[in-house]
A and B are shown apart, each in its own frame.
Chain A
Amino acid sequence: MSDAALPPPVEALPVAPVTAQVSIGQIFLEFLIIGATSFGGVVPYLRGSLVTRNHWVDDKEFVEMLSISQSLPGLNATNMAVLVGEKLRGAMGSIAAIIGICLPGAVLMYIVGIFYRIHGDHVWITAALKGVAAAAVGLILSTVVSMSKKSLSGKFDFVFIALTVIAVNRLHLGVPRTLVAVGLLAILFHRPGKQQKESGSQ
């Protein structure tokens, strides 16, 4: 599988997404811009840049890559960078993309960390951070709701959600053991041949 340089002729789309070879520098710059501007969630910015503006991946491919990113460990943003970088220019493309997307936020949080360590106990900062933390809890909950709407494949999946929460927060099994135990259970529950609504099963 060393044909990463060629655009893979998966379905021979007439659109011809990648015309010329994209350079490592271009990949780095584009992901650097995404990394510096994607306030409040990376995915819409990724789509805007990669699909709409640069035509480096088509929409179907983008959705496919996003679903791979979500099933793998790692953040969506960095997994997408690796997948798109790999598609465009192999290993070097992946490295350029992931460094680009991480760099702005990393520099910013480096500075914020130093500032917070020095000034974090000022009364108005403590007060502001209390509000920020509460707002972040609301934000995470909204992500839980939107992910549940989008990616669950049946009512019974709520049992697995509950089991996971109980295992981590009540039984204190730890994330790895929970992941293996409930994950295996859920994968077996969704085993091949049991998919009624999926079209391509056997």
Chain B
Amino acid sequence: MNQIPALIRVFAYLSILTVGGGMAAFPEMKILTVEAHKWLTFPQLIHLYSVGQMAPGPNMMMIVAIGQWAGGFLGALIVLIAFFGPTAVLAFIVARGWKKLEKWPWRTSIQQGLAPVSIGLLLAGCFTMAKGAVTGVETAAIAVGVLLILLQYKVNPALLVLAGAVLGVFSFMPK
């Protein structure tokens, strides 16, 4: 019944996959938290991730809720440390060494090469999520609407996600 070791393993592993953003780890997060460990269902994962977009701060804080469900307060704390610790240590090491690498010609190559891959991972995560979140004409219209508004105008994205909630209540409430 003790989920703590599994939580550490899963979230430390997911941590190093977040190249370009938290969404890059989403497909793997679905496999591990939903299918392998059954800490929550796929719709629940999508809901938590989406609600997390309205919270301030780093946008993967929904992991705290997964940790809390699987292991209580300790679970939440452990998940935070496991998910943010490894990449924080890496960033710290790189922060100290990066200046020395300024002349290293491969530095630009790595940055230029990882850019399209991280965009691809973001898109792949988005498709994984869309399979569960975009299920009909109405949800597709909301997704496309938000996309077009964000491309056209300078709106705070958190407000649009909130607007999605209002639209959801009007569109999907059983009559």
Contact = CB atoms under 8 A, between A and B. Distances in A.
Secondary structure at the B interface, as helix, strand, loop or mixed, is helix
Interface residues of A, number: 106
A113 B90 contact: no
A87 interface: yes
A77 B20 CA distance: 11
B21 A160 contact: no
A106 interface: yes
Interface of A: 1, 4, 8, 10, 34-42, 67-79, 82-83, 86-87, 91, 94, 98, 101-106, 108-110, 112-114, 116-117, 120, 123-124, 126-148, 151-153, 157-158, 160-165, 168-169, 174-176, 178-179, 182-183, 185-193, 195, 198, 201-202
Nearest to B23: A140
Contacts of B23: 140
Secondary structure at the A interface, as helix, strand, loop or mixed, is helix
A187 B113 contact: yes
B1 interface: no
Interface in B88-126: 88, 90-92, 94-99, 105-106, 108-126
Contacts of A83: 91, 95
Nearest to A164: B120
A24 to B, nearest CB: 15
Nearest to B142: A134
B58 interface: yes
B163 A135 contact: yes
Contacts of A158: 116
B161 A136 contact: yes
